[in-house]
Structure 1
Amino acid sequence: MNRRWKIIITITSFVLVTILAVKTAAENKGKQFVSVATASTGGTYYPIGVGMANIWSKHLKNEKIQASGQSSAGSIENIELLRNGEAQLAILQGLVATQAFEGKKSFKGKPYKDLRTIAMLWPNVEHFVLMNEKIKTGTIDDIKGTRFSVGPQASGTEQSTIVIMEGLGLTKQDIITEYLGYSDTVSAMRDGRLDGGSLPAGIPTSAVTDMYASGVKASILEVTDEQLQEINAISNSWYRFIIPKGTYPRIEKDIHTIAQPNILATSKEIDERIIYLLTKTLYEHLDEMYEVHSSAKNIKLETALDGLSVPLHIGAYKYFKEAGLDIPQHLIPPEAKIDKQ
């Protein structure tokens, strides 16, 4: 190839790249990019967050709203992502949302009063799993003295597990503590490097399904009524939940555990119109959401406010008012009260 043709090809390539860049910039002009913070990829937060983002991007294209899901260490990190403007929405455990808003536990001295909720999504079911050889009573008391993962550091899993342990009269000193994600927990159990772990998620959660399907000799521990009462004495955030038989491979009886709500949250700083559109679009396309994950089938308009303790974002508040929901006083955002004055 002679020098002349090389110059022509180089110029042509430059022109095409420039045209593409200009076109992309024009398409992105005025776009609102929304990131949804979730958790590790082996749990339920991630697929549901990505699923919501895809639905929003599809149906709000004409509104120039582009959404995406991002993995994270979980609820506690998600609070900081919201606070720092690194995410516009986040899926959180109800317990962590309450603690952040009130400035308790991990958030002591730094309450996040700008935190706002959008809706309750689905119950976060506690899966305390333990190798069968370590099981004595079959309840969560059996984790004492074991090599046990409490979830990634700075995650909602770690926070909720610590509260549950506190209700049992246990601390991290009573176990050999590991800090692993869901899939890594099951892998470590399979390899004999770990006795068990805490894997709270919607049912069925993929890591637990993998545990049973791959023949790991482990089981989900149960929670007694007395244990539930003791845990709620520390933080009244859980309720009785029964995992139906057949939810996981080769499990032929119901498992009595507990759950807390998972919520969709945001900051009061996010534009009212954007949150209104996101909320409206989610509830108008639940049929698509239900195809994302079985836990998503718990997302319903009639249960959208169940278990919430932090005020709604004004955009979500206005949508739910239009939808005819009876909104409790404690969920009415301060911004709405100001508007009425």
Structure 2
Amino acid sequence: MKKIYYCIILMIALLFISACNKNASGEKKKTQFLTIATASTGGTYYPIGVGMGNLWSEKLYSEGIKASGQSSAGSIENIDLIKNDEAQLAILQGLIGVQAYTGKESFKGEPYLELRAISMLWPNVEHFVLMDEKIKSGTISDMKGTSFSVGPQASGTEQSTLVMMEGIDLTKDNIKSEYLGYDDTISAMRDGRLDGGSLGAGVPVSAITDMYASGVKASILEVTDEQLNKINEIYHTWYEFIIPKGTYPKQEEDIKTIAQPNFLAASKKLDEHTVYLLTKTLYENLDFMYESHHSAKNMKLETALDGLPVPLHIGAYKYFKEVGLEIRDELIPPEAR
């Protein structure tokens, strides 16, 4: 009798599992494994990528979708991972995305025209800090003639900083270049060994919080509309960003700077329905994502297209049109024209 009872329970369990792996129409779905390329496990890309993988695996189980975040060397490697179908999705820095799409810098002569954007995730906010005694106009042009850290050598910070400098007609010849990490930059400024530095990241940046809290007599420089336009003439991926007053200790006024997107990308080969489901599920479950990392709290539907440097994937395009977002002409996928 016990044997029969256990057999019945087992059959019910198997039927339940089978039912759970069917979509709304009752059709059984073949499991689709999606890898999300991120960056090192100690940064922001990885926990947000893992968070998206957990979200999609949970909410799209009936569609047969199973997703997971994978650590990597960052944006440049992530392009290769997508190209080689070793990852189906990736988080990319805006500048690296546009360089890959246009075949410049690390991708010189090899434009990756199949690269598509799914959504801006959170902003990489540019923080140019300078000792108050060196500030004249209050804008990033004030770095001229100073000792200034452009970020660690070969880092995304260095690449971005040099592009922004080019946009305001400056080169390394116009400054005394240093190549320091964020904490070391603030420490050197505190000790009087450095005038300023570039510290791009999601707000608040802990090193800059320390700068304000510890009484370093320095400020965040602003970026004018004219400067932003000139920077975007080189690579169109930055947009205006306001750091609200009170973000940092003793910060009594809003600060007008710029940001570039950290965005979710895929190849145009990833099928339209899958990307539509991923995008829709992401924006219908933002509270889930907010638990993955504090930077994820910047994810909002109204900013989903901010600064995207490459055309949208047609699946994401379908979703954003459906919810009524205004889509810039350059973001319309060639496949939808």
Query: TM-score normalised by the shorter chain: which range applies?
Result: 0.7 to 0.9
Q: 1:78–1:130: structure 2 CA closer, same or farther, 3 Å change rule?
A: farther
User: What is residue 119 of structure 1 aligned with on the other side?
Assistant: 119
Q: Match of 1:205? A: 205
Deviation for aligned residue 1:152 = 4.2
SS of the residue 1:278 aligns to: helix
CA contact (8 A) 1:96 1:159 kept: no
- Alpha-carbon offset, residue 117 of structure 1: 0.5
CA 1:322–1:189: 2 relative to 1, 3 Å: same
* 1:127 positional shift: 0.5
Change (3 A) 1:139 1:303: closer
User: Which residue is equivalent to 1:3?
Assistant: none
Letter in 1 for 2:157: T
1:149 aligns with 2:149: yes
Shift of 1:169: 1.7
Q: Which sections of structure 2, spanning at least 5 residues, go unmatched?
A: 1-29
What is the one-letter code of the residue matched to 2:159? Q
On the 8 A contact 2:49/2:68 being kept in 1, the answer is no
Amino acid at match of 1:209: T
The one-character-per-residue Cα deviations of 1:54-107 (angstroms, maximum 9, x if unpaired) are: 43344345635132253645x445434433555433333434323321223443
1:67 pairs with 2:46: no
- Higher mean alpha-carbon deviation, 180-189 vs 195-204, is at 180-189
- 2:101 aligned with 1:101, yes or no? yes
Letter of the 2:251 counterpart: I
Deviates more, 1:181-190 or 1:280-289: 181-190
1:184 and 1:41 map into 2 onto residues whose CA distance is 18
- Cα separation, 2, equivalents of 1:50 and 1:208: 27
- How far does the alpha carbon of each residue in 1:124-181 deviate from its partner, in whole angstroms, 9 at most, with x for none? 3210123445445433223234443323444443332112111222112333334444
Offset from partner CA, 1:189-232 (integer Å, 9 cap, x none): 55666543222233223343343345554321222344334434
TM-score (normalizing by structure 2)? 0.73
Matching of residue 34 in structure 1 with residue 35 in structure 2: yes
CA RMSD between the two structures:
3.6
Aligned equivalents of 2:80 and 2:182: distance in 1?
Answer: 21
State the Cα distance separating 1:246 from its structure 2 match: 0.2
**What residue is the counterpart of 1:16 in the other structure?**
none
SS at match of 1:142: helix
Question: Runs ≥4 in structure 1, deviation > 6 angstroms?
Answer: none
- Residues 98 and 309 in structure 1, CA contact (< 8 A), matched pair in contact too: yes
- 1:40–1:182 Cα contact (<8 Å) kept: no
Superposition pairs for residues 39-58 of structure 1, below 5 Å? 41=42, 45=45, 47-58=47-58
Which residue number corresponds to residue 159 of structure 1?
A: 159
Q: 2:36·2:49 contact (CA, 8 Å) conserved in 1?
A: no
1:260 match: 260
Distance between the aligned counterparts of 2:179 and 2:53, measured in 1? 28
Contact kept, 8 Å, 1:92 with 1:156, in 2: the verdict is no
Deviation at 1:294, TM superposition (A): 5.3
Equivalent position amino acid for 2:71 in 1: Q
- Report SS of the residue matched to 2:96: helix
Identity %: 70
**Contact 1:76-1:154 at 8 Å conserved across structures:** no
2:128 aligned partner: 128
Aligned length: 307
Question: CA contact under 8 A between 1:76 and 1:156: conserved in structure 2?
Answer: no
* Partner amino acid, structure 2, of 1:88: Q
Separation in structure 2 between the aligned mates of residue 279 and residue 64 of structure 1, nearest angstrom: 13
5+ residue gaps, structure 1: 1-28
Work out the CA distance in 1 between the residues paired with 2:300 and 2:205: 20
